[in-house]
Structure 1
């Protein structure tokens, strides 16, 4: 369980810092009460984690042989893909993610009724985050982890990682946003996936 918790925590923390959902939380926290934004964002990410773990548990019913090698293949694929993306990134890569987040928030703000009331702010934070996270590589990686490791450990680790990243975003994200190297974080994420692949191979021997 400790291995599963650590894997989920490291994967999410590294992957989500500087991600689109991170900047959505930053922007929302600059416009609305931080505690409401934090609650809405974490609730969305927790819901996505539970959904991903549930899918992973369903996949776990497949023959162990296929799950094992599929997980290794996905970890290697994600690792190589992220390392390649990091090598191709320019200084403007982080700006593009921020622009995407700003665009998503602007659309959400236009549809927000009762912008000074708690429930609409919670709903906006939840919806924008959930939609941005859907189909993201961290969701697929969480599914893979849940199919391979202890589901409870993965769930607790992933939600803890999301909560840490969201707290950083709403409390001081605007201060560190310009200092976060998207290229470095992407490269670290790629290495982390490759490490998971090696661990999976080692545990399967």
Structure 2
């Protein structure tokens, strides 16, 4: 269980910093009460984690050998993709993810009233974060981890990782965002996926 907890925590904490969902939290926190944004973002990420873990448990019903090698292949694919992408990047702040987040928020605010209620802010943060995270590589990786490791450990670790990233985003994200190197984070994420692949291979079925 502890191994699953650590794997979920590290996977999410490293992968989510500088991601689109991170910048959604950063930008919303500059426009609305931070506590409301935090509640909405963390609730969405926790819900997504639980859905992913349940999907992982369904996958675990397949042959353990198939699940094991599928997990390794998935981790290797993500790791290699991120390393290649990071290698080709210029070493600069996370501009692309920030622009995507800004565009998403701008579109959503066209249907909001000028002075949204507290509930509207929470729902906006929840909805934007949930949609941005759906189909993301961290969701797929969480499904893979939950299929091969203790689901409770993965759930607790991943939710804690999300909460840490969300707290960083809403409290000091604007200051930190300008210092985050997209190249470094991408390379670090890729290396982490490869480490998980190596660990899974060493542990066997």
TM-score normalised over the length of structure 2: 0.97
Alpha-carbon distance, 1:117 to partner: 1.0
1:51 matched to which residue of 2?
A: 51
Which SS does the other structure have where 2:62 is aligned? Answer: coil
User: What SS is found at the alignment partner of 1:61?
Assistant: coil
Assess, with a 3 A threshold, how the Cα gap between structure 1 residues 143 and 52 changes in structure 2: closer, same or farther: same
CA RMSD of aligned residues (A): 1.1
Residue of structure 1 in register with 2:201 after alignment: 201
User: Could you tell me how far apart the structure 2 residues matched to 1:179 and 1:93 are?
Assistant: 6
Counterpart of 1:61 in structure 2 is 61
Contact residue 12 and residue 162 of structure 1 kept, 8 A: yes
Shift of 1:92: 5.6
- Verify the 8 A CA contact 1:23 1:98 in the aligned structure 2: yes
Pairs within 5 Å for 1:164-175: 164-175=164-175
1:82 maps to 82
Query: Do residues 70 (structure 1) and 70 (structure 2) align?
Result: yes
Write the distance in 2 (CA, Å) between the matches of 1:168 and 1:93. Answer: 16
What's the counterpart of residue 138 of structure 1?
Answer: 138
Task: Judge conservation of contact 2:40–2:123 (CA < 8 Å) in 1.
Answer: yes
Corresponding residue pairs, total? 205
Deviating 4+ runs (over 6 angstroms): none
Structure 1 segments unaligned to the other structure (5+ residues) = none
Give the structure 1 partner of residue 3 of structure 2: 3
Distance 1:114 1:53, change over 3 A: farther
Alpha-carbon distance in 2 for matches of 1:115, 1:144:
41
What is the DSSP-based 3-state SS (H/G/I as helix, E as strand, rest coil) of the residue aligned with 1:31? Answer: coil
In the alignment, is the contact (CA less than 8 A) between 1:82 and 1:187 conserved in 2? yes
Aligned-residue offset at 1:109: 1.1
Is 1:4–1:145's contact at 8 Å kept on the other side of the alignment?
Answer: yes
CA offset at residue 88 of structure 1?
A: 1.0
Kindly indicate whether the alpha-carbon contact (under 8 Å) linking 1:112 and 1:124 is maintained by their aligned counterparts in 2: no
* Separation in 2, partners of 1:145, 1:80: 18
Shift of 1:116: 3.4
- How far has the Cα of 1:91 moved from its partner? 4.1
**Residue aligning to 2:112:** 112
Q: What TM-score does the superposition give when structure 1 sets the normalisation length? A: 0.97
